[in-house]
Structure formats: structure tokens, C-alpha cells
Amino acid sequence: MRLVVVGRLAWSVALASALLAGCARFDDSASSPFTPEPTFSPADPKPPKQAPPSTTRPSGPCIDPDPAVVATCLDTTAGMVGVAEGALVAERRTGRILKVIDPDQPPIEIARLDVDGSADGGLSDIALSPTYREDGLLYAYITTAGDNRVVRIAEGGQPKDILTGIPKGANGNHGAIEWATPNQLLVLTGDAGNPGLASTPSSLAGKLLRVNSPAPGAAAPEVAVSGIGIAGDLCRDGKDSVWFTDRTPVEDRLQRLGPDGSVSIAWTWPDRPGVAGCAAAADGVAISLTNAKALAIAAADENTRAVTTAPSLLAQDRYGQLGGATVGPDGNVWVGTVNKTDGQPGPNDDRVVRIPPQGGGGTGPD
């Protein structure tokens, strides 16, 4: 699949949160994720900062010549969340949560979870607490030896279970989490390799779940959407909508959960490019494509939130297969690659890369 490259787009940056400066220490300078989301709009007078010239990059092991590459030599990446200085990225198989800032600073391990990283399981996604500045908590979607679950992580403490018993299978274990409101956590679950579970009301598999006022041992999930295939990602925009991606045997989908609880299919891909991570803005959504090896930009109507034109592609075939996505502090879309397990890894994979939404990525080779 190859589409027309998107035209000039610019994002205004308003994503604020921060995390720590050392292993297993959570920085209380981070702000709540419930700040206004960025936008990408031709009318924005302040385009995001661009990557520095490639001529400044040195050479050597784990140093990528492409200036858009933020971090290198990671294990298979998964969910990401933007923070004030850079981004937090999950390593799916190792269970590590890393803070990445720029190519000249090595990733900082801030937490490590015990996960089952076989097949497509492991550490799938991470999210900041809505009151992170006050409580310093992180949330994570993980695969254990017996199930998939959502846990809460505090500085220096053991993970506490928020939602357990999500079915585990030979595949279909990937999941995602995102806050719809400060008191409601959304959980996107895969079908555990059994599409029948996605339509079974009593099963937590293959669903978009609402968990109100989540706390250890007190989760009472409500089903918002059934029929989810292989779960992709959740991302909230500045219009009170939450977008989510999944893959089915017949098509890949981008769907939207409106503030009134209504659900609509925003776009489908019959050629199944492998929708994965998403990063939402007030006027559209960026979607990582694993199989198509590109970042798609789906523009959304300001009022109806409808997607009426085919998403455009950025950086196709430049970085290999893409997984998680978030909006970075520079206004670019930050994506993680998944070449070590799902593609053909290069010497510096896996990587975190900045892709400017108005056109492209760095100037170096893949």
C-alpha cells in the first residue's frame, strides 16, 4: 500500500508530562496528561522544531546517522507516552520502561516489570496517572504467565493489580490503555487468538473496556465495544474523543469513541497494513503501520470528527516496521520500531524515531 505523501502540517505542542532522571525514580515535575492535546493545522504559525542536520552525527556502534533517530539498540518496542523532555517507551519482551530524550543521551531505565514476552505478549502499553504530579503513578498493560492484566506502578514499590483475568492465548495478547477522563481508564484487549471470545459478553477478551475509578482490587469493567481483533492502540484527542485501532481477518480499522459513548468506524484498510500505535491531535490521528512500514496521517473534521479522505503516508520504507506512537515534546510524532521480532532488523534496531507530521523523517538511510 502506498498513498500520496501528506502536505504541509504543523502541530502546536501542548503535551506536558515528565518523568524521572534515574532508574526507578519517578519525577514529580510531570504534569497531568489531561492538558490540551496538540493540533496539526496549516494555519499554525509555530511549526515544530525540526531534526538537526545529519552532518553533526558521529559514527559508531548504536549511533544512527539519521538525525531523526532518538534512541537505538533497544529491544522490541511497544507502547509510548510523550513526556516533557522526550518520551517513555516500553520494551515488550524485557518489561523495561525507558525514558528517551535525544541521540546523545542513553535511554534511562525507570522501571522493569516481570512479563511473559513470548508470542505477542509482554509489556504492551503504559500510561501516566491523571494526577501524576501528586501521586507519581504509572499504569501498564502486561502479559503474565497466566493472563493479561493492567497494573499500577509506584516508585520503589511492587506492581499492584488493577484489572486481572483478561484471557491469554497463543497470540492476540497485545492490549492498550488510555484515560478517557481523570476517573475512567479505557482498556483495549485482544481476542487471545480466539475471535469467538470477542463476541462473548462474559469474556474480557476482544473488548474496549471502561474501568471507573480504578484502584487495586476494585476494578469493575464495563464493555464499551465488542468485536476487537488484534488490539492496536488507544489515543485521546483534544475534542474529547478516544481513537482506537485493531486488526481483523478481513480489514484493519481505526475507530472512534465519542464523548457520548457512541462508536463509529473512522477508516478501514482492506489491504491490512498492520495498524498499531496511534497519536491523536485535535484535527487528526497519526497511525503507525507495521506491515506497510509507514506512518499514516488521518485528518479529522473539526466538528464531526469524521475521516473523509484516505490517510496519507509518511516515511514509508525508511525505518522498517513501526509499532507504538506518541506526540513528542517537539511536536513531532515519535514512533518505535518492531524490526527485531517482526521484521528485518538493521544494526541499530530497534529504534525510536521522530517523524515531522508535515513530511518525512530524517535524511539518513534506513
Q: What one-letter code names the amino acid at 21?
A: A
Domain covering 11-289+298-334+347-355 in this structure, CATH number: 2.120.10.30
Report the C-alpha dihedral over residues 162, 137, 127, 337, rounded to 10 degrees.
-110
For 200, counting Cβ atoms within 10 Å of its Cβ (0-12 exposed, 13-18 middle, 19+ buried), the class is: middle
**pLDDT tens digits in sequence order for the chain, 366 residues long:** 433 333 333 343 333 333 233 333 345 444 456 555 555 543 333 434 444 444 455 566 899 999 999 999 999 999 999 988 899 999 999 999 999 999 999 999 999 999 999 999 999 999 999 988 788 899 999 999 999 999 999 987 899 999 999 999 999 999 999 999 999 999 999 999 999 999 999 999 999 999 998 989 877 899 999 999 999 999 999 888 999 999 999 999 999 999 999 999 999 999 999 999 999 988 899 999 999 999 999 999 988 999 999 999 999 999 999 999 999 999 899 999 999 987 789 999 999 999 998 754 443 433
Q: 151 - beta bridge partners?
A: 140, 161
Q: What one-letter code names the amino acid at 305?
A: R
pTM of the model as a whole: 0.86
Taking the C-alpha atoms of residue 7 and residue 220, their distance in angstroms, rounded to an integer, is 44
